Structure 1
């Protein structure tokens, strides 16, 4: 009779099995998941990736001044400690916020691919963009072309997750997206621009920001995010 370990090895491969095993053995912070009622204030913070020796984290955001209006995309890549790896901002002309969001994800994935990184968590505060790339909904022809670019890049990079986060946990990318609105084309930063340095530091030390919930919904704080990432392991390797 096959053991649980042998079934996991056969289904996911040795690498995924080893990572999942380590995530169980390592004493991660206690997980807390709760339900927030309407009007309740909930705290959020940026959370680094689950597996420090293997993962990087990419946050992206889009901004459109008018929707449609002058638009920008921006994002950054951090290591597990929240330290800057690379970032970008991009003036994408006049468009709507959804196209700006998907463009930012595409640009972020292109930067990840150019740097030769794998095992990357990509985060955006656009739930609609995540649904588009996941294939659960469809949009116009140009946005769908960007979506296909994102899917192709995720396949090329390998071991990549894409998930929605609240804007409070995506503040650095928001700053860079707004910088993109006034940028001259696409700019890539080897070092963090001064405009994002303070927020980058706050994220790294775990400063928490509050959010008022509009309706009942499941909310995962730090540990909950880690559990969510652990669930992703079985699906992306």
Structure 2
């Protein structure tokens, strides 16, 4: 568990606090996470990248759903050697390209669990890494193709369907696209559609 040093100092200033209360001071309450349906007329793209630490091999995946949480499309692909940052950006770019290809270019809500990357894209920040910046520039060049596009962050617990597709990408010998949901993601899709809340444990 990571403890903020400033919180330690605050606790030290308190006098005659029982040990159990000090423990509660350091305890982080779990965060409820729920996948949200997009508004009527909107399409939602959840994306994710996966990288295996030992082999360094990466894969991407994502899922597109409508305002009723109906499955529209899923995709997965192995992209060879890449770090997690490149995998996340590649997953996002591929999902946006597919959204354009299938005509979902009017109202698109894009959501991923890589918070720093989402902030970089939303705030149009520059990064030092040439390869990462190239991917970001490609994504920024695609964004104007959408009439309305929202990019937001969600914790991994709310991005489980996209994560499942990304994991499936490791076992794919070629890029795959599904118009009917595969059995492997049915549970995640159903729980998202039902608005099931998953608790995220911090620390």
- TM-score, normalised via structure 2 length: 0.82
Q: Distance in 2 between matches of 1:191 and 1:178?
A: 18
The alignment of Structure 1 onto Structure 2 pairs a total of residues equal to 176
* Cα pair 1:63 1:97 within 8 Å, conserved: yes
Say if 2:114 is the partner of 1:126: yes
Q: Distance in 2 between matches of 1:141 and 1:92?
A: 19
Partner of 1:61: 48
Q: Distance in 1 between matches of 2:150 and 2:139?
A: 11
Partner of 2:10: none
* Cα pair 1:43 1:211 within 8 Å, conserved: yes
Partner of 1:162: 151
* Cα pair 2:126 2:133 within 8 Å, conserved: no
Q: Distance in 2 between matches of 1:86 and 1:58?
A: 9
Secondary structure of the structure 2 residue equivalent to 1:57: strand
Runs of 4+ in 1 over 3 A off after TM superposition: none
Say if 2:80 is the partner of 1:102: no
Change in CA separation of 1:41 and 1:106 when aligned onto 2, cut-off 3 Å:
same
Q: Distance in 2 between matches of 1:164 and 1:67?
A: 27
* Cα pair 1:132 1:139 within 8 Å, conserved: no
Cα shift at 1:67: 7.5
Say if 2:180 is the partner of 1:191: yes
Summarize the alignment of residues 81-230 of structure 1 with structure 2, pairs less than 5 Å apart.
Answer: 81-117=68-104, 118-134=106-122, 135-214=124-203
Cα shift at 1:83: 0.9
Cα shift at 1:137: 4.3
Change in CA separation of 1:46 and 1:96 when aligned onto 2, cut-off 3 Å:
same
- TM-score, normalised via structure 1 length: 0.70
Cα shift at 1:68: 7.2
Q: Larger Rg: 1 or 2?
A: 2
Secondary structure of the structure 1 residue equivalent to 2:145: helix
Q: Distance in 1 between matches of 2:178 and 2:131?
A: 27
* Cα pair 1:75 1:88 within 8 Å, conserved: yes
* Cα pair 2:35 2:158 within 8 Å, conserved: yes
Change in CA separation of 1:184 and 1:172 when aligned onto 2, cut-off 3 Å:
same
Change in CA separation of 1:148 and 1:68 when aligned onto 2, cut-off 3 Å:
farther
- Given candidates 22, 25, 32, the residue that maps to 1:43 is 32
Q: Distance in 1 between matches of 2:128 and 2:109?
A: 24
In structure 1, list runs of 5 or more residues that go unmatched. Answer: 1-36, 215-237
